[in-house]
Amino acid sequence: MDTMSQSIEAIRARYRPERIGTLLVGESAPARGRFFYSDDETAFARHIRRAMQAAGLLPDAIGHREFLDHFKSCGWYLDDLVLEPVDDWKKPERKAAWRAARASLATRLRDYQPRAIVALLMCIEVVVQQAADEARSDASCSPRRSPATGIRSNSASGWRSSFHSFQRWTAHDPHRHHTRR
Domain coordinates in residue numbering, the chain: 3-170
Radius of gyration of the chain (CA): 15
Whether residue 118 is predicted with pLDDT greater than 60 in this model: the reply is yes
CB 112, CB 85: distance < 8 Å: no
Round to whole Å and give the CA distance between 105 and 23: 11
Q: What is the mean pLDDT of residues 22-48?
A: 89
Show Cβ contacts of residue 65 under 8 Å, excluding neighbours closer than 6 positions.
39
Q: Among residues 63, 62, 123, which one has the least CA distance to residue 87? A: 123
Task: Give the torsion through C-alpha atoms of 67, 164, 15, 70, to 10 deg.
Answer: 30
Whether residue 179 is predicted with pLDDT greater than 50 in this model: the reply is no
For the chain, counts of helices (H) and of strands (E): 6, 4
Return the CATH number of 3-170, one of 3.30.1490.100, 3.40.50.10470, 3.40.470.10, 3.40.140.10.
3.40.470.10
pLDDT grade, residue 176 (50/70/90)?
A: very low
Answering whether pTM is above 0.85, one says no
